[in-house]
Amino acid sequence: MTKRIIQILLALAAIAAAIIGANYWRNNYLSGVTMVNIPVPVTNIPAYTTLSADMFVMKEFPRALADLKGSDAANLYVLSTADLEGSISVETLLEGIPVARRMAVPPDQFRLADPSLEVVSLPVEASNGVGGQIRIGETINVYIMQPAAQQDQETTTNTPKKPEVILIAHVPVVAVLADNGQPLSSGDSSGEPKPMKILVIAAPPETVHSILDAIAMTKLEGSLLWVTLATP
């Protein structure tokens, strides 16, 4: 009798194991073959393109593709056109192929600023750049100080002319660098921090032109650039 009970229990255990195994296999199988919609480019999209939802269509792929994870535990591929809107392509996005997250990034991660702005470097010494106390995200005023024009030879007055101080830009700082182009916090090979030498700023094209004109004047006419922290 005991032997018979043991046989029945073993049979029930085998049936239970078979059911559990079948369900496990079925779930894994369905997760691989269930189809989901993933956005893909309508046509090849070149690198350095600002993306919009109308550049993509939804296409069916196995769910397993959507479940793949990247090194940061996020989905490996972009699963929604809303997540692509406003991003910038860092490589060519191929027609009909899902977009990997590393290939479409927010503008500030790719080029430091909004796509509508130019990004330009400004040579600045600590002595005329708030003593080097400028941080990323702050807004600065950039002035040019032009030397006084020489007195007209026919003018008899002895009153000296004042130099001109002109505001040429009111812009945000997107990077603060040493003379080797490295962030100040990285220091040099000896570990010693290096002084600020370069401010990277973002501005509309017309403002960038004014800044470049001012830099040229410092080389040709003895003018001087001066940077202040803008008032809040």
What pLDDT digit, counting tens, does each position of 178-192 carry?
Answer: 888 888 764 455 566
Q: Do residues 202 and 176 both lie within one domain?
A: yes
Number of domains the chain is built from: 2
71 with 144, same domain: the answer is: no
Give a yes or no: residue 41 inside a domain.
yes
**Residue 166: per-residue pLDDT:** 93
- pLDDT value, residue 104: 92
Q: Do 98 and 128 belong together in one domain?
A: no
Q: Are 98 and 112 in contact (CB under 8 A)?
A: no
pLDDT tens-digit series, residues 29-73: 555 568 899 999 999 999 888 899 999 999 999 888 888 887 777
DSSP codes, 12-58: HHHHHHHHHHHHHHHHHHHHHH-EEEEEEESS-B-SS-B--GGGEEE
Higher-pLDDT residue of 10 and 103 is: 103
pTM listed for this prediction: 0.60
Residues 214, 200: Cα–Cα separation, whole Å: 16
The winner for highest mean pLDDT among 3-12, 196-205, 215-224 is 196-205
pLDDT at residue 58 in the model: 95
pLDDT of residue 3: 61
User: What values do phi and psi take at 205, rounded to 5?
Assistant: -55, -40
- The tally of CA atoms less than 13 A away on the side-chain side of residue 157 is 6
Flag whether 205 is in a domain.
Answer: yes
- Cβ-count burial of 94 within 10 angstroms (0-12 exposed, 13-18 middle, 19+ buried)? middle
| Residues 141 and 203 placed together within one structural domain of the fold | yes
**Per-residue confidence at 18, pLDDT binned at 50, 70, 90?**
low
Please provide the distance, in angstroms rounded to a whole number, between the alpha carbons at the two ends of the chain.
Answer: 90
Structure tokens given for 82: 């809303």
> Rounded mean pLDDT of the chain?
82
| Residue 180 shares a structural domain with residue 202 | yes
Contact between residue 120 and residue 142 where contact means Cβ atoms under 8 Å apart: no
Q: Is residue 15 part of a domain?
A: no
Tell me which residue of 50, 56, 24 sits closest to 37, measured CA to CA.
Answer: 56
In sequence order, the 6+-apart residues with CB closer than 8 A to the CB of 102 are 70, 90
The answer to whether residue 23 is domain-embedded is: no
Residue 225 phi/psi, 5-degree rounding, is -90, 145
**In the predicted model, what is the mean pLDDT of residues 146-163?**
62
Query: Which is more confidently placed, 204 or 5?
Result: 204
Amino acid at 134: I
The per-residue pLDDT for 69 is 83
Instruction: Kindly report which listed range (13-17, 73-77, 89-93) carries the lowest average pLDDT score.
Output: 13-17
Whether residues 207 and 140 share a domain: the answer is: yes
Parallel, antiparallel or unpaired: strands 104-105 and 88-89? antiparallel
Shared-domain flag, residues 73 and 143? no
Per the domain annotation, does 209 fall within a domain?
yes
Q: Check whether residue 126 and residue 70 sit in a common domain.
A: no
CATH of residue 78's domain is 3.90.1210.10
Q: Is residue 124 part of a domain?
A: yes
pLDDT, position 41: 96
Q: What is the pLDDT of residue 151?
A: 45
